[in-house]
Amino acid sequence: MRQSGHIVRQVLDYVRSMVAPGVTTMDLERAAEKKIGELGAKPAFKGYYDYPCVLCTSVNEEIVHGIPSEKRELKEGDIVSIDCGVVLDGYYGDAAITVPVSDTVKPELRKLLTVTEESLYRGIDQARIGNSVGDVGAAVQEHVEAAGFSVVREFVGHGIGTHLHEEPQVPNYGARGHGAKLREGMVIAIEPMVNFGKPETRVLGDKWTAVTADGSFSAHFEHCVAVTKDGPMILTK
């Protein structure tokens, strides 16, 4: 899983370097698909419940599961979440980043990105033997809400291994000590989705793209993390 995680990271690094005004989300998709093949893996999302692409690209008020499109040209001031999953020799890797499209992205949106990524690391630090998914969720939620942002409830992180989505669900909210216990050798994908405004969501007519109900911008970061005797081990570094 470290190998599949490493491939996901290389794809995200490559695609991130392409992000600029005038680039379309389909440009990112094509580059990612080529890169995944070159690195000897297979995409995990394409064909999953008929999802059509190898990436999810979610711009601005889109939270997750945005579908790459020729028509979606990134512009100054936008933020874009890029989510990628691959499978290598039967084992899955899954990670996401959100990047500013230009250096004119407003400071409060930069803060949204920083706080969301920090909250992911707060959650990762709780991925320890004997802790529960509630410890992970509470750590994420506390950090996000202290900054005045809100945590999405309708989409959650997940176990991952020989399937993209396994038990347990890993919410980005919760109560310490509650929920499924983390055991040695489990791997979980922790993926906070954080809204600038209110937490409510809706899904667009394409049946995939999740957006904020209030139209506020949203950020998303994800890592796969193994629960080990030596503490949390990030597999998508």
State the residues that interact with Co ion by CB under 5 A. 94, 189
Nearer of residues 105 and 223 to Co ion, judged by Cβ = 223
Minimum distance of Co ion from residue 192's CB (angstroms): 11
Minimum distance of Co ion from residue 160's CB (angstroms): 7
Minimum distance of Co ion from residue 191's CB (angstroms): 5
CA 230 vs CA 1, 227, 235: distances in Å: 17, 8, 14
135 close to 141: Cβ distance less than 8 angstroms: no
d(CA 198, CA 207): 21
Nearer of residues 56 and 101 to Co ion, judged by Cβ = 56
199 close to 151: Cβ distance less than 8 angstroms: yes
Minimum distance of Co ion from residue 102's CB (angstroms): 27
Show Cβ contacts of residue 8 under 8 Å, excluding neighbours closer than 6 positions: 84, 85, 86, 93, 94, 95, 236
Minimum distance of Co ion from residue 169's CB (angstroms): 11
Nearer of residues 23 and 64 to Co ion, judged by Cβ = 64
227 close to 127: Cβ distance less than 8 angstroms: yes
Nearer of residues 165 and 176 to Co ion, judged by Cβ = 165
Q: How many C-beta atoms surround the C-beta of residue 176 within 10 A?
A: 15
Nearer of residues 45 and 217 to Co ion, judged by Cβ = 45
Show Cβ contacts of residue 34 under 8 Å, excluding neighbours closer than 6 positions: none
Nearer of residues 67 and 189 to Co ion, judged by Cβ = 189
Minimum distance of Co ion from residue 135's CB (angstroms): 19
Nearer of residues 62 and 94 to Co ion, judged by Cβ = 94
Minimum distance of Co ion from residue 182's CB (angstroms): 17
Per residue in 101-140, is it b (16+ CB within 10 Å) or e — as a string?
beeebeeebeebbebbbbbbbbbbebbbbebbbbbbbbbb
